[in-house]
Amino acid sequence: MKKILVLGAGLSTPTLISYLLKNSDVNGWQVTVGDISKEIAEQRINGHTNGKAIQFDVNDEEQRNSEIGHADIVISMLPARMHYLVAGTCLKFKKNMVTASYVSKEIKKLDTEARELGVLFLNEVGLDPGIDHMSAMQIIDSIKAEGGELVSFKSSTGGLVAPKFDNNPWNYKFTWNPRNVVLAGQGGAQLIKRGMYKYIPYHKLFTRLLTIDIDGYGEFEVYPNRDSLSYRTAYGIDNIPSMFRGTIRRPGFSKTWNTLVQLGVTDDSFVIENSENLTYREFTNSFLRYDKVRTVEDKFAEYVGIDSDSFSMYKIRWLGLFSNEKIGLKKATPAQILQKKLEEKWALEPEDKDMIVMQHGFEYKLNDKYYQITSSMVVEGKDNTDTAMAITVGLPVAIGCKLILEGKITGTGIKIPTSEDIYKPILEELANYKIVFKEEKKEIDEPNGK
């Protein structure tokens, strides 16, 4: 019986673990789920005869050695910073590992050793990164096979609330780690446009927007996301003139979020004095000029450059940042204080469903003509457990694990799913779960690269 060890039982794992258990009888799998909370691990196993729940502490070297040493393959769904500990133990016992996370510098350094030991670490095989790589590479490879020359590539993803449950003025609810949302973009963004490198600092990030349309779901806005340049080599498009990666939100989100950036309340680098006794109104006012006559609202609107009667101002008031409610967090950073309020206002209700939207845009030259392909995917969650996020992150990880155990994905070292032998079978199986892309192709006069 093959033993699969899943480390981490957080919000992204229900569909992953369910897939492994549902397929465990026919494939002869024993699935052990380890989490710092054994109770959560037990919830994921849900009494399945081929499942086992354990309390797992990744910092316990003896336990790491024992559990990983007895496994046939390891799936790490722990926070990204913990993968290195798991990976080191996997190398020690020559065990393959699958993760949904970006390849860190620490993991990348293990490539040579992993190759020498015949170990495969398959990373970035969740949603974004993951499905974005696979679906993009499928089209990029088809363009190349046809003899085309890619001149522009755009890729954007967003985790949102499904339209039926979109009932707040921000058109947004937390479907992923709230802290990551609050701190998003603080490293700025890099991209290339018509052969020119562009660098967007954090304080301007949410003003540099694109607009996209997805059939049946309407218009969305996209703000630049991280480093758009790093995947040129991985995608085999080193010389592409235009490349952009972005994050999708509903129109108007970025304009209002930018007011919070400009105010300074997304800063996580210092602690607010006496934060537990401040009200949100006092907290907001602490970033503004002293004025014994003007209201906090008027000072805020002037400081961030919006009209006091604007819809953006309404959204800030709706959040409660001008309220007299006490914060109640000790030694908190501005970002932590903001996150606390957002978690109250942007929470998914028990009956809510989330939604993942992804869109790629390709422009290429073939036989002296230019063509454009737009490829879009929308996945709505089933419920508050099998969310769209859990489905799209967990399923490709589970399928990748299965294919490695079956010997259908081979190779050694540090891999991401950009080669056909990896992306093709995973995408084919994802289609069985209605995770598919709708493609539109048309001839264009010239590439715009935007």
Tens digits of per-residue pLDDT, 125-162?
999 999 999 999 999 999 999 999 999 999 999 999 99
66, 144: one domain: no
Which residues are 363's β-sheet partners? 152, 372
| Length of the chain counted residue by residue | 450
108, 137: one domain: no
249, 375: one domain: yes
Long-range Cβ contact pairs of 101-106 (< 8 A, separation 24 or more): 101/76, 101/126, 101/129, 102/129, 103/414, 103/416, 104/80
241, 362: one domain: yes
155, 93: one domain: no
Give percent of the chain above pLDDT 90. 94
Contacts of 66 (CB under 8 A, 6+ apart): none
Residue 338 in any domain: the answer is no
Mean pLDDT along residues 10-25: 95
Residue 385 has pLDDT above 90, yes or no: no
Residue 78 has pLDDT above 80, yes or no: yes
Query: Residue written as tokens 């994921």?
Result: 44
160, 225: one domain: yes
Residue ending a domain, among 97, 122, 147, is 122
Residue 450 has what pLDDT?
Answer: 45
Residue 449 has pLDDT above 70, yes or no: no
Residue 83 has what pLDDT?
Answer: 95
Q: What is the pLDDT of residues 288-326, one digit of tens each?
A: 999 989 999 999 999 999 999 999 999 999 999 999 999
SS3 212: strand
Q: What is the pLDDT of residues 176-224, one digit of tens each?
A: 789 999 999 999 999 999 999 999 999 999 999 999 999 999 999 999 9
Q: Give the pLDDT band of residue 175 (cuts 50, 70, 90).
A: confident
Q: Which DSSP helix (H) or strand (E) runs through 402?
A: helix 388-405
Q: Give the pLDDT band of residue 447 (cuts 50, 70, 90).
A: confident
Residue 257 has pLDDT above 60, yes or no: yes
Sign for the pseudo-dihedral over CA of 93, 99, 101, 102: positive
153, 234: one domain: yes
279, 176: one domain: no
Residue 448 has pLDDT above 80, yes or no: no
Mean pLDDT along residues 74-93: 96
Residue 445 has pLDDT above 90, yes or no: no
Contacts of 179 (CB under 8 A, 6+ apart): 335, 339
Q: Give the pLDDT band of residue 16 (cuts 50, 70, 90).
A: very high
19, 105: one domain: yes
Structural domain for 323, as ranges: 271-332
The DSSP code for 430 is: H
99, 225: one domain: no
Sign for the pseudo-dihedral over CA of 264, 268, 274, 275: positive
**Mean pLDDT taken over the chain:** 95
Residue 155 in any domain: the answer is yes
292, 358: one domain: no
Residue 240 has what pLDDT?
Answer: 96
Give the number of domains in the chain.
3
91, 142: one domain: no
Residue ending a domain, among 286, 306, 332, is 332
Mean pLDDT along residues 8-14: 93
Note if the bond before 14 is cis, omega within 30 degrees. no
Residue 31 has pLDDT above 70, yes or no: yes
